[in-house]
């Protein structure tokens, strides 16, 4: 997974955003990219959980003061540390980073509907109408942007083997359901791939879902891989990360296999409750 950041509010109406990255929060920040401000979020293919970012707005001449921003993975780590009470000695940043992509796909299965190759139609000039729906933040960057949907064109007449070609998104609005696209000829058909949910999903709730599921999966794997196949000695110790536990129950709270399974169950219960609450809300229709 790449590091994904949400751009801060652009109160000055700047046209561009400069992205700076560092290996430590108080280290030297290096300019890595300049993007259009309406992109809303940024995917850094060279970043990870240990990358720190600052954003400066830019109008082509003047650059604003740099604004510190957290990546999605750092926000998830904060939830695991603060709400779930799991220190880095128990569940490391690297383990969290390793699991986040798998968990994102599980969340998509649990709460999303995938739409592939839906044709959209021209409103006027280069403007097309988007399907009316609550779009899912596919890359979990913190907002739905053009990075979360995929557009492609196909020339007519259309066959099963017709080549899919990329297009350029000039502007997009997921609230008023329109997109401005360049590179589409009158003989082309424009299509979109996207995920939807029942209602608008707050980014904080999505990050909680990720944090709960990562914690649950990690401790499920920990328990499954720590049980010895030898049963001749009921008091044998099993090494689990930085601690040793008994192969069975223990009077030491938090160090037994049962306690590990119990914590995994609690995290799964928190995840399931949040998913259930989300699914039972109202559903948006076209």
| Beta strand spans in 75-149 (E) | 113-120, 122-124, 127-129, 134-135
Q: Answer yes or no: do 85 and 159 share one domain.
A: no
Q: Answer yes or no: do 96 and 224 share one domain.
A: yes
What pLDDT score was predicted for residue 224? 81
Q: Answer yes or no: do 118 and 193 share one domain.
A: yes
Number of domains making up the chain: 3
| Domain final residue, candidates 170, 197, 224 | 197
| Domain final residue, candidates 131, 162, 197 | 197
Q: Answer yes or no: do 219 and 193 share one domain.
A: no
Q: Answer yes or no: do 263 and 133 share one domain.
A: no
Q: Answer yes or no: do 92 and 222 share one domain.
A: yes
> How confident is the model over 79-136, as pLDDT tens digits?
999 999 999 999 999 999 999 999 999 999 999 999 999 999 999 999 999 999 999 9
Residue 285 lies in a domain: no
What pLDDT score was predicted for residue 230? 44
Q: Answer yes or no: do 123 and 155 share one domain.
A: yes
Phi, psi of 253 (to 5 degrees): -60, 135
Maximum Cα interatomic distance, the chain, rounded to a whole number of Å = 77
What pLDDT score was predicted for residue 279? 84
Q: Answer yes or no: do 122 and 65 share one domain.
A: no
If you ran DSSP here, which 8-state letter would residue 147 be given?
G
CA distance 234 to 69: 50
Residue 116: which of 207, 223, 192 has the closest Cα? 192
Q: Answer yes or no: do 138 and 266 share one domain.
A: no
Domain region containing 22? 3-70
How many CB atoms are closer than 10 A to CB 46? Answer: 9
What pLDDT score was predicted for residue 280? 80
8 Å CB contact between 178 and 128: yes
Q: Answer yes or no: do 210 and 192 share one domain.
A: no
Q: Answer yes or no: do 184 and 254 share one domain.
A: no
The packing angle between helices 72-82 and 203-226, to 10°, is: 60
- Burial string for 122-141 (b: 16+ CB within 10 Å, else e) reads eeeebebebeebebbbbbbb
- State which residues of the chain have pLDDT below 70: 1, 226-255, 281-286
| Domain final residue, candidates 197, 214, 243 | 197
Q: Answer yes or no: do 139 and 174 share one domain.
A: yes
């Amino acid at each position: 997974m790449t590091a994904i950041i949400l751009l801060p509010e652009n109160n000055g109406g700047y046209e561009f955003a400069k992205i700076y990255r560092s290996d430590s929060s108080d280290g030297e920040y290096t300019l890595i990219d300049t993007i259009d401000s309406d992109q809303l979020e940024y995917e850094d293919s060279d970043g990870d959980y240990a990358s720190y970012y600052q954003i400066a707005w830019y109008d082509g001449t003047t650059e604003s003061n740099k604004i510190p921003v957290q990546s999605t993975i750092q926000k998830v780590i904060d939830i695991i540390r603060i709400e779930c009470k799991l220190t880095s000695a128990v569940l490391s940043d690297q383990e969290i980073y390793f699991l986040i992509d798998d968990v994102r796909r599980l969340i998509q299965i649990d709460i999303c509907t995938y739409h592939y190759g839906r044709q959209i139609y021209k409103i006027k000039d280069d403007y097309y109408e988007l399907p009316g729906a609550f779009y899912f933040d596919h890359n979990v960057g913190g907002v739905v942007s053009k990075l979360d949907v995929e557009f492609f064109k196909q020339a007519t007449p259309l066959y099963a083997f017709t080549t899919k070609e990329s297009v350029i998104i000039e502007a997009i609005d997921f609230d008023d359901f329109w997109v401005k696209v360049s590179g589409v000829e009158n003989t082309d058909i424009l299509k979109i791939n996207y995920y939807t949910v029942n209602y608008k999903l707050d980014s904080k709730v999505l990050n909680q879902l990720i944090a709960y599921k990562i914690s649950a999966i990690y401790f499920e794997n920990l328990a499954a891989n720590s049980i010895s196949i030898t049963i001749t000695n009921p008091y044998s110790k099993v090494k689990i990360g930085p601690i040793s536990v008994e192969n069975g129950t223990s009077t030491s709270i938090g160090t037994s296999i049962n306690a590990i399974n119990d914590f995994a169950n609690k995290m799964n219960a928190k995840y399931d409750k949040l998913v259930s609450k989300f699914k039972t809300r109202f559903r948006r229709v076209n």
